[in-house]
Amino acid sequence: MSFSLNFPLFAIVLSLICSVVSALLPRKAARVLSLVLFGMIAASSAVILLYTGKTGRIFFYQMGHFPHPWGNELKIGALEALFSLAFSLVLLSCITGGSRQLRIDLVPKTSNLYYSMVDLLQAALLVLVYTNDLFTGYVFIEICTIASCGILLIRQVGRTTLASVRYMIFSLVGSGLFLFGVILLYQVTGHLLMPNLRECIALLWKNGQYRVPLLAAMILISVGLSIKSGLFPFHFWMPDTYGYATPASSGILSGLVSKGYIFLLLKLVFDVFGTEVFYQSGLQNVFYVLGFLGMIIGSISAMRENDIFRMIAFSSAAQIGYIYLGIGVSQTFGVAAALFHVLTHAVTKPLLFLSAAQLSEAVGGKKQFKELQGTAHFNKFAGFAFTVGSLSMIGIPPTMGFISKYLFAVSAFHANLKMIPTLIVLAVSTVLNTIYFARTLIRIYNNPDGTSPSRIPNSAQKPFVLSAVFLIVMNLIAGIASQPLVNLLRESLNLF
Amino acid sequence: MKQNSLKEYFRQWDAGNFDFTEAMAGEDHPKRPKPEKPLPAWDKKPILRLRNREIAFFRKLYAPIAVVLCTVMIGFLIYTVCSLPPFGAADLPTNNEVTARYLGKGMEETGAVNTVAGVILDYRAFDTLGESHVLFTAMLAVLALLLSESGIRESEAERRIMQDDLILRTTARVVTPVTLIFGVYVMFNGHLGPGGGFSGGAIVGAGLILYSIAFGFENLGRILNFKMFRIVVLFALSFYSIAKCYSFFCGANGYETIFSAGTPGAIFSAGLILPLNLAVGLVVSLTMYGFYSLFQRGEI
């Protein structure tokens, strides 16, 4: 066994230890520690990605002296490595790019706790990506839930307190439903490790035993995770949560945390329920319909919004709709498109939030469209970054957004009945995306009313420029040289 | 007018009731001074009055919708539970090779007489590692929420009344030492019988809280101040993480660990389970006491 297979364990334990240590450190040290940690995790994920990509296999890493079904396990494959790499890179750029706002928004007494919680989020995301055990997944979902509320409410203004109460309630309902599902699955199979669960469920489904509990478990787990990731009828926590958090937190919550839950859901579909059982149960049609509605209604809500952050948040609801639509369309091409869109959204949304924060600061912290008139002239680079992000969300080549829309369209051609509605909804939603992003772009590039009330010194902007350039480059590279990435996703789906 | 009402309808769904929020929670930006509101805003503007009427309408709908939803959910869950395998039957699906090994070989493999301790701290130790960090995360969130405010100090008068309570103080004087010793016993005994870090820590935490209710925070605060608190939690949790990382690493790579199972039943046996139970117990007790202290007086 190659030594690099130990890296996920080290990365998880190291982030847990760093979070505990950060609680004792002063702000600056905690910040540096987090940045170093994310960099190291990204590097180690890249090594794992190279190794698993080269061998083309999936490895099971036994956590302790007992193999499954007795002890915990991690599952290490190219897909997992790719997502942990992407997540840690985006986390790194969120913390870097939002550092200026973090300094303003955080109270000195508690600001090191922010980095502590971000480290915990990193650990939880890694586990959600790598775990091969259902209950471990649940435990780290809890960490993810509490830590996300923490990084939301640490900016103490009235709206964030209310938003985090609302987010907490939604999120806890989701965790509760997930736990019910896990209990039901354990009752009918007696296993918690994913490979054993999958065998048992396939057998039970074939024999027609315990059909009701199995279906109920699938429904509860899917609904639980879709509440937490913000699928259409459950997306009402999104605008407040993303709109009023400090920009780094908005980027992390929209770009990573909700994606972690989606990745876990896909893992469950493939590794626990098995694609045959899941796609026979008809649940994918529910995802399809809800994703379909989410794409339209999320975009319409975004169009009606007057606040730039809330508009981006509603656009997130629409993008989550795309992902669930992909899961609903088909288990091969659709899911590959959904996974690609997870990456697209993870790279693009933080960029939008960070640059919007910069733009709003250029006009003195205002967030309404009326007041953002011409702000891109005051902060040229932020305007450029916002433009690239918008183009990627609309789906203009050579950005990643174009590739994901292309993949969704391709997947539509492989689905018989769903082809026409999928293509129509893609077209309609692209038009809607264009309307609200073009409106924003026109507004921010319109002639300014005067001079900028608050110029940000260039030195203070450096971290933002660094992270924005990084995100843009990632976006463009993945958009131009997308074929290796798409191949990797499709191959790993076959390996699942 | 109609268009407005539709707009407000959507606004209400996605933003919560806007003015209510502003009024309850204050302005959006901390630096902006709060505008003075001499009259309730809805008294002047027709749109806002309309919005309030709509809110009242939806308030009326909430109760019936909630009842219906809960009934449906309860019915769904009861129906599901009815089709589960009967409780306690011999051929339950849960009665499989997993439980067989836990019960049959657990003592031999982990060295713990208490099978539960063996399962949570050896077979499935990664879950418990996560679980103890859940507590830590919750503590961080509460600290982030409460420390940044100026502190909700318990009023002097209230404290004096509590401390003058003869019955409480006498009882606490008798009960606290017993509680603490029992808690420590439960922690140390986790691998030999019922107990372990979580339950023992909860008992110790309860003892600390009882003591601080009866005698105030001053005495306890001399030993258990915020710095001490953080250092203990740091050492307990990082010891846990490092020890388990070592044992996972050895297990995955096929090495033997230096911790042996020992003789089952002896106090120093079961490898890492005893120290891990102590670490978990410290974290749990301090978290419980810390929550009480934070909510009571806004600091630890």
Quick: pLDDT tens for B240-281.
999 888 888 888 888 877 777 777 777 777 778 888 889 999
A355 occurs within a structural domain: yes
Model pLDDT for residues A334-381, shown as the tens digit of each residue: 999 999 999 999 999 999 999 999 888 888 778 888 888 888 888 889
Instruction: For residue B229, list chain A residues with Cβ-Cβ distance below 8 A.
Output: none
**Contact check, Cβ <8 Å, B77/A180:** yes
| Residue among B137, B234, B250 whose CB faces A146 most closely | B137
A193 occurs within a structural domain: no
Using the CB atoms, write b or e for A276-288: b if 16+ within 10 Å: ebbbebebbebbb
Closest CA to B81 of A283, A217, A135, A274: A217
Domain count of the fold of chain A: 1
**Contact check, Cβ <8 Å, B147/A20:** no
Residue showing tokens 């017993």 = B178
A79 near A8, Cβ under 8 Å? no
Q: Which of these ranges, A179-183, A275-279, B161-165, has the smallest mean pLDDT?
A: B161-165
Identify the domain containing residue A320 by its residue range: 282-496
In chain A, residues 107-146 whose CB comes closer than 8 Å to chain B:
107, 109-110, 113-114, 116-117, 120, 123, 127, 133, 135-136, 139-140, 142-143, 146
| Residue among A133, A244, A301 whose CB faces B14 most closely | A301
pLDDT-based confidence at A312, cuts 50/70/90? very high
Of A161 and A218, more confident: A218
Q: Which of these ranges, A238-252, A391-405, B75-89, B151-165, has the smallest mean pLDDT?
A: B151-165
The percentage of chain B sitting over the pLDDT mark of 70, rounded to a whole number, equals 76
Say whether pLDDT at A43 is over 90.
yes
- As for the ipTM of the complex, it is 0.90
**Contact check, Cβ <8 Å, A9/B252:** yes
A192 near A268, Cβ under 8 Å? no
Supply the pTM of this predicted model.
0.89
- What local confidence, expressed as pLDDT, does residue B18 receive? 44
Q: What is the mean pLDDT of residues B125-139?
A: 90
Q: Cα separations (Å) of A31 from A21, A95, A117, B271?
A: 11, 8, 11, 36
A473 occurs within a structural domain: yes
- What local confidence, expressed as pLDDT, does residue B149 receive? 62
Say whether pLDDT at B134 is over 90.
yes
Instruction: For residue B15, list chain A residues with Cβ-Cβ distance below 8 A.
Output: 239-240, 310
Instruction: For residue A11, list chain B residues with Cβ-Cβ distance below 8 A.
Output: none
A153 min Cα distance to partner chain B (Å): 7
A133 occurs within a structural domain: no
Instruction: For residue B14, list chain A residues with Cβ-Cβ distance below 8 A.
Output: 236, 239, 301, 310, 314
Model pLDDT for residues A267-296, shown as the tens digit of each residue: 999 989 988 898 888 899 999 999 999 999
Rounded CA separation A286/B13 (Å) = 23
A226 occurs within a structural domain: no
A249 occurs within a structural domain: no
A431 occurs within a structural domain: yes
3-state helix, strand, coil in chain B (%, to 5): 75, 0, 25
Instruction: For residue A17, list chain B residues with Cβ-Cβ distance below 8 A.
Output: 237-238, 241-242
User: Residues A202, A206, A211, CA angle at the centre, nearest 5°?
Assistant: 85
Say whether pLDDT at B48 is over 80.
no
pLDDT-based confidence at A400, cuts 50/70/90? very high
Rounded CA separation A335/A489 (Å) = 9
- What local confidence, expressed as pLDDT, does residue B14 receive? 44
| Residue among B28, B145, B242 whose CB faces A157 most closely | B28
SS3 B143: helix
A217 occurs within a structural domain: no
Say whether pLDDT at B7 is over 90.
no
Closest CA to A124 of B140, B197, B276: B140
pLDDT-based confidence at B229, cuts 50/70/90? confident
B239 min Cα distance to partner chain A (Å): 9
Q: What is the mean pLDDT of residues B183-211?
A: 89
B3 near B50, Cβ under 8 Å? no
Model pLDDT for residues A60-115, shown as the tens digit of each residue: 988 888 887 888 889 999 999 999 999 999 999 999 998 888 888 888 888 889 99
Rounded CA separation A212/A70 (Å) = 27
- What local confidence, expressed as pLDDT, does residue B154 receive? 55
Instruction: For residue B242, list chain A residues with Cβ-Cβ distance below 8 A.
Output: 13, 17
Please provide the average confidence, as pLDDT, over all residues in chain A.
Answer: 90
- What local confidence, expressed as pLDDT, does residue B125 receive? 86
